[in-house]
Structure 1
């Protein structure tokens, strides 16, 4: 993969790690902020135990926000760290391809990046539905709720990963054509 594609993959990986560092594990970023001191993340919210799939706390939620549909959507938030792992693996394989393994590693890294990009787009849509509906419902009830920075970090990572996928596939195709030209084969 070309150096810009390698850099884009690294930047997307870093952004996805930051977006995954949400309450209750860390306060680096959050998906939904309620009242200024309650922040929601991938594995729960401020003061909750770490878990995949959680319910909104009774202090701010009602029966509407604690329906099974919302609980199921919180399970999908684990896709963000999964995409971070895939982007990190794609970066390492890209690095291997840039240093010694050639187009095979670049092609494999492009496949990983494409899978990460597809999963990330699904995760972004699901998180925006979950936290957008929660924010609207809380605001209707007079609760101060805003979307957190993790939503926009995931969006940025998705755009950057999209550039990485495009550059990766271009590099893979160009390396194959260059190899054919160097061997003297005609197309």
Structure 2
């Protein structure tokens, strides 16, 4: 992203919640505890003399499972065995485990149940309130309106206008159909 490696992007304070959590956000065959430290494994806290600090990885998982209300029988269960909502909570727990300057969340609640949607929204808002910039990419208009301070409406890959979230739904609809902001104002 922006000409940076993933390692460089993470080091600059960027977090990413991908649209396809199973293909891009998790390693389904890895345990929940290992998925929670995928990008943190080189930190001194989680490694010792070139190996893994299993006790710290287990402690981190226990804390994140409680904090993010991940419904599982064990932190050693594979991430692929979780429901979609719980998989998303694991991705969020990992991405929000370090100080962020920017959080990019693509379709953060696609396929989730109502309770998981509410939880994800609260965590995203909390990150924004901590001072991180948050970019939500979503086809769910209600989600965008609920979370956004500003909405950039796109049509065929181009921004046709940037409006506040209280913009009339008819105006948003026209812009989503390609009308430029000046044409509907």
More strand by share: 2
What is the TM-score normalised by the length of structure 1?
0.28
Q: Name the structure, 1 or 2, with higher relative contact order (CA <8 Å, separation 6+).
A: 1
What is the TM-score normalised by the length of structure 2?
0.28
Which structure: larger Rg?
Answer: 1
